[in-house]
Structures are given as C-alpha cells and as structure tokens.
Amino acid sequence: MAGVQGSALAIAVSNAGGLGSLPCAMLTPTALRDELQALRAGTRQPYNVNFFCHTPPVPDAAREAAWRSALAPYYRELGQDASAIPTGPGRTPFNDEAAAVLAEFEPPVVSFHFGLPAPQLLACVKRWGARVLASATTVDEARWLEAQGADAVIAQGLEAGGHRGHFLSDDLTVQMGTLALVPHIVRAVSVPVIAAGGIADAQGVAAAIALGAAGVQVGTAYLLCPEATTSAVHRAALQSDAVRHTALTNLFSGRPARGIVNRVMRELGPISPLAPAFPLATAAIAPLRAKAEAHARGDFSPLWAGQNTTHCRTIPAAQVTRDLVAGWGRLAD
Amino acid sequence: MAGVQGSALAIAVSNAGGLGSLPCAMLTPTALRDELQALRAGTRQPYNVNFFCHTPPVPDAAREAAWRSALAPYYRELGQDASAIPTGPGRTPFNDEAAAVLAEFEPPVVSFHFGLPAPQLLACVKRWGARVLASATTVDEARWLEAQGADAVIAQGLEAGGHRGHFLSDDLTVQMGTLALVPHIVRAVSVPVIAAGGIADAQGVAAAIALGAAGVQVGTAYLLCPEATTSAVHRAALQSDAVRHTALTNLFSGRPARGIVNRVMRELGPISPLAPAFPLATAAIAPLRAKAEAHARGDFSPLWAGQNTTHCRTIPAAQVTRDLVAGWGRLAD
C-alpha cells in the first residue's frame, strides 16, 4: 500500500504470521535499500516486496493543459500559482536498478501490479528463487500471468481499495466482484489463487477459502494500525461516515483506484477523461492535496479504501493479522 | 426472474429443498392466478412470490422522443415503422388487485424488489402470516426495510444478474460487491440476511454463510435449466464466450440491470441518459428485440445474467438446488 505504509507494518504482519508486504512503487533505490535493511532487521519471517510495472506513458501536453484547466478553479481558490507546478511521473515501474537492490537482499516473495515486468527482468528476481505473485482482475489476465511465470495469482475483486491492477483491458465493466471472480480464476489456472477485495476479518477469510482461494490479500483493514503511515486526513475519513461511500476514481493518478468519495471526486466526477495517463495525473493535483491537508482537509487526497471497512480499527497490525488467520480454522475438510 | 421463468422452475426448486420463487412483475391478475394454481398443484413445499414495487413514472414526451431518435438507425436497419410502436409500461407494481389474488392462495413468502409497497398494502400480505423479504443494495436500504417490517433482507451485491433493487439512491457507486455488502448488512440489521449476487454453487453458499448470511438467493445458475423459459438467444449467449462480459445497463427497461453485453449495449454504451424512466424504456426497444430474435439474434435483448456463470448448465433445477444445498454442510461450527 504505497503511500500509507513502510517496513514497520510489513514487519508487524510477518511477525504475526502473515506475509508482510513492502510497497516499493514510490521508493528511490536508496530508500528501497533502507527499507529492506529495516525489514531484514525486524523479522526472520518471509516477506513480500511489491512493485508496479506499468509502461510509462508519453506525456501529452494538450491533455495536461486540459487537466490543469479543469483544476484551475481550485488553484485559484487555494491561492496557488499553476505555472509553478512541476510535471513528473511520481511512480517508477520496476526496473534494473530496483532489481539490483533486491539482489542484495533476495526477498522470498516479489509481487507486481499492472502485469509483470519484461521476461529478462522477471528472470532476475527468479534467479534467487523468489516466488512471484501478480494481480489479475479478469480470467484473461490470470491466464496471461500464469503463462508468463507467475507462481500465484492475486484475484483482485472490484471491492478492493487502491489501484485496480488491470493490464490487458481498461474496460472496468469486464471486472467482477470478489465472490464471482475467485471461482472463475480458480477454474482457469492451476497456480494458487489469492483472493483480494472486501476481505477484512476471519469471516471474509473463511468465505475466500470456501471459494477455492489458497490465501487472501488484505489491505484496508490495516489502514488504521499504528504501524501504518496513513495520513491524519485519511485516518479521519476512515473513521467518519464518509467511509460508507467509496468509488473508483482516476483523478489522483490517472488510473482507476478505489477511494473514499471526497470533494474533488464529487465535483469533477470520480472518473474524468481529462486526467492524464497514469501516473502523470498526480503532479497537477499534488499541490492542492498538500495545501488542503495542511488545513486538515482531504478534499484533494487519494483516500484509498476498499468497500469493506467494517474492521478498520486503531489496533496493532499483529491483532488484525491474528484475527484474519483465525479464519482458516472455520472450514471443515 | 421475470421473463425467463414461471411456476415450473419454482415448483422444481421447492420440491428439491429450496424456496422456489414465482416472478409476478409481468403477470396480469389472470395469469397470476393461473400460475399460483399451478404452484399449489405442483408442490406442497413453501414457495415465494416476487413483485416489483416501483412508483410508475410520469411519462416524459421529450425524453421518449430523444430515446426513439437514438434508436432510429436501428428501426431503419430492421425495417420498422417507428411511428407504429406503442408506448406503455410493461411492468406493473404490486397493487390491490394483485394482493386480492394472493389472498386466495396465501403464499407463505412474498418478496419485493425496489423497496416495499405502501404500509396498508404490505399489511394485506402480512394478514395471512406471509413472511416478507425485500432487496437492499446498501446498508441504508437494509435498515429502511427492517424498519418498515421486512422479515428478512436480501443483500444484493453488484455481481447479481437482472435489475438492481436500489430504491433510496440511484447512485451506483454506493453499491458494493457481495463479499463486502453482506457483512455490512449483517452488522446493521437484526433480521436474517439473504446473500445474493455471484453465488452459483456449494462453494458460494459456504462463502455466504461464512459472511454471516442466513441464506442465499440464486438466479443465474438456473437460467439454462429445462424448467426455465429462458429464450433461445438468451440460452445461446449464456453458453457462448459472450457470457464472460456482463455490465449494468438501463437500455432495456430504464433501470440498471446486469446482462450479457450485446450489440446495442456496445454501440449506445450500457448506460444511456436518454433511456426513459423505468419501466418506460422497454416499449421502444421491444420491437427491435422481437425482430432480431426472430432471426436468432440477441442484439436488442436483455440477456440478464450475473457475473458468476461458471455453473450455468443444462441440468434439471433439482440438481442445481441440491448442489447449492450441499454448501450448508461445508462450515464447521
């Protein structure tokens, strides 16, 4: 969960019996090395490192200008000089440099969002025996991932918070809820399937296992843990009534991701055709976010959350993890 | 499942240990009486009768004209005289007349979609002790239904086929996948919760029970049963690759409903702001549907289906039902 956690949460989860995950999409090579050192110092249990592997888009000046023009009323309202706002990617896909840092640590599990890196690059992480996980939002994507060498497929249902992991089609209407998606993918591939989306407690784990999943991926339920770096405005939103309404939005990065509906999503609509391609949309909205957050407002913040927030509580990650693990005992053989 | 089944499927399900359901939204009082007589003759087990309870909209001539103009190229292509196409509702909400017919039979369970009938009318069916079920797509709707006297709430997740049952808000972004919705509603109400959407086999049943559901509602898995009246084009679509892509569409009735993506959904987009309010959109597209179906094409047909079609098979409804019932044994206490 890039932006809301670092190694501390991953360590707590791994030490409690889960597979803690380090989001690396927004880390420089130096920061990545620091985090991996912290992880290695903090746990002797397996852990996962997660990367994005999108193809960086060609910047489109006209679209960028149209997007900034849509945001212009907000720049004026918040007293910001639009011409001083830089452009820039914000997120780097997995690359040779990151692979070189990983090789120093040989993490046991590496996961990818938005497909898989090129075969040569994927081979790098397989060299030390890392198990490779990747997200699929459709049966086609699951089959593709298996064919390309993924050791397990994460079936990401529509309930999931944060970025949709699709990479073969950006048509959101082909994507399914977790309850429908998991059985489809379990039937389509022979590698283990990890259910993601809407799972927040032992009941959800038992449900996923009943559907044929070999494991679950849980994010939202950890957002209020003290080990997470979730911002104050994000935490406040998660604890407010606003959490009852999430939507898929591309306003914050250019790709659809599920977050709590806030002012900019309401006013521009959660999906805008003007938002530049991922990850370029981030730059123009970032200063609005910063200014609003400085006044304790999340009007322009990506408040990522899944649809099931019934178990978001301010409790240690170890407790969340143990509650989830208890779900495995619920099913009779 | 109005349009794709009658009493025969309900009888088969009830006799196999499920609660068979008779869709009554498109039946005249005479047809309703005939079907209830058939039901009573065919089973001694409990059964359910299902009604819509929408508020009929005020016809809007301008919108109707805009809608017909959007369909005009299709009228030309199929050689139809647009001026000869009648307007009309197609579906009647539950009313005094239907209640009077029900009173002759005293069905043990009555369910409603799109809210509940007015209190006086609801009291009619409660007079003979009928249990009342109704669909909720959100926590707010579940609470409302419980407060108005529903004896159980059907939590309709986004995976479900056919019409969305929402009635307090038509904002589709507030609606959740089944895996997220069921635990929310279980927490919010004290009446039993019936999970619907994406459930097609024993695994799905076990998953729903794990989430706290007291029962499940299953539709799509029965569509290919010999006892269903599913049309030939609908059956063909369910057995083709097309079934992998369903979407919510308002083109066929004016209300969002999940169906297999077909030509008109692709070409006009699945949701059109031009489609008249439910159920008025049906009239203008009906002749296109009839003409295309006569040529074995489902280009203009509502091909209702949920997202989980992995278990749509041409097998007797009793077998589908027994397979589902087996899901209850899967959970340890």
CB atoms within 10 A of CB A120: 9
Q: Is this complex's ipTM strictly greater than 0.90?
A: yes
Is B193 in the A-facing interface, judged by CB distances under 8 Å?
no
The tally of CA atoms less than 13 A away on the side-chain side of residue A148 is 21
Residues 273-312 of B with CB under 8 A from A: 306-308, 310
Of B101, B69, B95, nearest to B83 by C-alpha is B69
Instruction: Give the closest-approach CA distance of B147 to chain A in angstroms.
Output: 20
Give the integer Cα–Cα distance in Å for B323 and B201.
6
Give the closest-approach CA distance of A144 to chain B in angstroms.
Answer: 16
pLDDT in tens, chain A (333 residues): 999 999 999 999 999 999 999 999 999 999 999 999 999 999 999 999 999 999 999 999 999 999 999 999 999 999 998 888 887 667 889 999 999 999 999 999 999 999 999 999 999 999 999 999 999 999 999 999 999 999 999 999 999 999 999 999 999 999 999 999 999 999 999 999 999 999 999 999 999 999 999 999 999 999 999 999 999 999 999 999 999 999 999 999 999 999 999 999 999 999 999 999 999 999 999 999 999 999 999 999 999 999 999 889 999 999 999 999 988 876 544
Looking at domain B1-54+91-220+317-333, its CATH class is alpha beta
Give A195's strand partners. A155, A216
Q: The pTM is what? A: 0.94
| Domains in chain B: boundaries | 1-54+91-220+317-333, 60-89+224-304
Alpha-carbon distance of B196 to B159, in angstroms, equals 8
Q: Quick check: B31 contacting A, CB < 8 Å? A: no
Say which CATH topology domain A1-54+91-223+311-333 has: TIM Barrel (3.20.20)
DSSP class of residue B55?
A: P
Provide the 8-state DSSP code for B331.
Answer: B
Burial of B148 (0-12, 13-18, 19+ CB in 10 A): middle
Cross-chain CB nearest to A197 (options B139, B179, B270)? B179
Tell me whether residues A177 and B184 touch, CB distance under 8 A: no
Within 8 A of B246 by CB-CB distance, chain A residues are 173
Judged by CB atoms closer than 8 Å, whether chains meet at A157 and B174 is answered as no
User: Looking at beta carbons, which residues of chain B come within 8 Å of A183?
Assistant: 200-201, 203-204, 308, 310
Collect all residues of chain A within an 8 Å Cβ-Cβ radius of residue B212.
203
B110's enclosing H/E stretch is: strand B109-113
Chain A partners of B139 at a C-beta cutoff of 8 Å? 244
| Alpha helices, H only, B83-194 | 96-105, 119-126, 139-147, 178-188
Q: Which residues are registered as beta bridge partners of A259?
A: A247, A304
Check if B208 contacts A (Cβ < 8 Å).
Answer: yes
